[in-house]
Amino acid sequence: MKKFMNKAETLVAESLAGFVAAHERLVAFGAEGKFVRRRTLRVGKVALISGGGAGHEPMHVGFVGTGMLDAACTGHVFTSPTPDQVVAAIRETDGGAGCLLVVKNYDGDVMNFEMAAELAATEHQIATVVVRDDVDPGGSKRGQGRRGVAGTLVVEKLLGAAAEAGWRLDELGALGENLNGRIRTMGVSLRGVTVPDTERETFVLAEGEMEMGVGIHGEPGRARARFATADEIVDTILEAILSDLTPERDDKLLLFINGFGGTPVSELYLAYNTARSRCENLGLTIARSLVGTYVTSLDMAGLSITIARLDERELSFWDAPVDTPTLRWG
């Protein structure tokens, strides 16, 4: 295995050090380097904190900044951050209005963020939103149900804008839970993930195979299928998403095509072109779009499609100014 690294055990720390140095205008390390936070915190605003294992960059550290997250906690590759990391972030970023924890629905993330919330509850107001945006797991035996995948970006952007607008902690929590029912994602992989610690792929596909319904930790999906054309792959994903989301013709939709780390941008735009055309042929309105590599699974060759049903207020939150290392507009 060839990777640009010194040692697998120092990869995450060295990468985070480079990230903070490269974006020092926007971010800084928190206490003892346990998390990355906004360089300038805003007193009186609800603080948004998220995180997860390394290997998903630019999520979550790339979303720290004005209009999005106040802090992100990073664990080892595909490993949840520890409760003490989250507690440290809560203590440093709470400006008096409480903290909202945005957590992807994976057992380790949920357990450690819950433990952190319990430890900090005597001193801080805390609410939690568990993101569950992947399509119905179908016949899968996943005990935790829907996972939090690329739709997490949408949730964090909307909640970040609402927090900047002065929404209270309870209002933000309610919005986050409501969004869970209106955002759906499905991914496909053409190659497994090479994990630095093990130096082997998480799953191996034959030349004519692809994995449908994958998560973002290199885990296999819900079905192994025959490799097909891009149009056929997009059609399969859209059928699963739209049957789960059931949008109406007058709904305003956000279409987000996300790369998993090993997919050229040209292929992502090709997938977007097909997905948008299919949606418009069904009479659906694509009101906002995002295409790029934002929620990765290290070097996985693959992509995911996310569709979100948003109302006018939520569209305004999407359009609201954001200034992070990865998302910047307005």
The active-site residue out of 23, 60, 76, 217 is 217
Tell me: the pLDDT tens digits for 168-203? Answer: 999 999 999 999 999 999 999 999 888 887 766 778
Q: What's the longest Cα–Cα distance across the chain?
A: 56
Q: Which amino acid is at 75?
A: G
What local confidence, expressed as pLDDT, does residue 199 receive?
65
* Residue 236 CB neighbour total at 10 angstroms: 18
* Residue 254 CB neighbour total at 10 angstroms: 23
User: Which residues on neighbouring strands pair with residue 103, listed in sequence order?
Assistant: 130
What local confidence, expressed as pLDDT, does residue 137 receive?
65
What local confidence, expressed as pLDDT, does residue 301 receive?
95
Tell me: the pLDDT tens digits for 200-248? Answer: 677 888 889 999 999 998 787 888 999 999 999 999 999 999 999 999 9
Tokens of 106: 């994976």
Rg (CA), the chain: 19
* CATH code, 183-319: 3.30.1180.20
* Residue 182 CB neighbour total at 10 angstroms: 20
* CATH code, 9-181: 3.40.50.10440
What local confidence, expressed as pLDDT, does residue 202 receive?
77
Tell me: the pLDDT tens digits for 44-94? Answer: 999 999 999 999 999 999 999 999 999 999 999 999 999 999 999 999 999
CA distance to 33, 51, 70, 253, 280, per residue, from 73 (Å): 10, 4, 10, 30, 39
Per cent of the chain over pLDDT 70 is 97
The question of whether 217 is a catalytic residue gets the answer yes
The active-site residue out of 23, 56, 60, 76 is 56
The question of whether 76 is a catalytic residue gets the answer no
Tell me: the pLDDT tens digits for 313-327? Answer: 999 999 999 999 999
Q: Does pTM surpass 0.85?
A: yes
Q: Which amino acid is at 324?
A: T
* 78 contacts 57 by C-beta, under 8 angstroms: no
Q: What's the burial of 67, exposed, middle or buried (CB within 10 Å: 0-12/13-18/19+)?
A: buried
Calpha distance 97→106 (Å, rounded): 27
What local confidence, expressed as pLDDT, does residue 204 receive?
84
Q: In what order do the strands lie in the sheet with 285-292?
A: 223-226, 209-212, 183-191, 301-310, 252-259, 285-292
Calpha distance 22→25 (Å, rounded): 8
Q: Any idea where the domains of the chain sit in the sequence? A: 9-181, 183-319
The strand ranges marked E within the chain are 27-29, 36-38, 47-54, 71-77, 99-104, 126-131, 183-191, 194-195, 200-201, 209-212, 223-226, 252-259, 285-292, 301-310, 322-323, 328-329
Tell me: the pLDDT tens digits for 93-149? Answer: 999 999 999 999 999 999 999 999 999 999 999 999 999 999 976 555 555 689 999
What local confidence, expressed as pLDDT, does residue 96 receive?
97
